[in-house]
Structure 1
């Protein structure tokens, strides 16, 4: 019986350490990725999409979305077990420019997107793509 207590204590210690290591990794958080079309209309009619976004990861294709000015492209994700979650997007500004960018990557976004309701917010603008973690201050991140 004494040996059982020792084994149980060891198992409890291992479980506690295992649980603490999981607590540091945000596997259980649901991250919300938002990409807003803030491009000027220029020669585009207001009822025609002026931006096309296609976002995906290695295992999940979110799909292509034609976007009108002011529209939001949104999806949720969790961090995978291997801690390698990455979503990238191809953006096409109709008759103007194309580019690819990382919309969510664990190393860069795991902590910074936790501050405002677990959201990563992006704004596609005339000079490039901006990031915000609070929907108030915007950081220039990608150039066309």
Structure 2
């Protein structure tokens, strides 16, 4: 009787996995998240960071980085089994504004980011934080 329950649970799990809205290979896709500092240069001193970016997930703190104009903050992630992967960042524009934003949300970003080599492209600018799925067309998703 116990073995029959095990077989039934195995069949139930297999049926569940086969009907998930994604392929098994989706679990192995590595997403590349890029956040670029496209803010205007500081007037003085010119080579000092004008953006501080701190990114993390529930389980992984990537740390804060000071960034000069044109610098890129990059990391990789995979979508977890429950499809709840989330990375969020706090951007602090020195002497101006601070804004938090979601840099990777599975439901929102998985498909758009696949269009450009599995990359999610973000650009921090003087009027907000922009997203692009192709590194050519940008939209202001998080205004300051």
TM-score (norm 2): 0.84
1:128 aligned partner:
128
Root mean square deviation of aligned Cα: 2.1
> Is the contact made by 2:42 and 2:50 (CA closer than 8 Å) also made in structure 1?
no
Post-superposition CA distance 1:32-78 (Å, at most 9, x none): 00000000014343210000000000000111010000000000000
Computing the radius of gyration over CA atoms, which structure comes out larger, 1 or 2? Answer: 1
Equivalenced residue count is: 133
Moved over 3 A (4+): 14-22
> Is the contact made by 1:46 and 1:69 (CA closer than 8 Å) also made in structure 2?
no
1:109 is paired with a residue whose SS is helix
Gaps of 5+ in 1: 1-6
> Is the contact made by 1:51 and 1:67 (CA closer than 8 Å) also made in structure 2?
yes
Gaps of 5+ in 2: 1-6
* Alpha-carbon distance between aligned partners in 1 of 2:33 and 2:109, rounded to the nearest angstrom: 10
> Is the contact made by 1:51 and 1:68 (CA closer than 8 Å) also made in structure 2?
yes
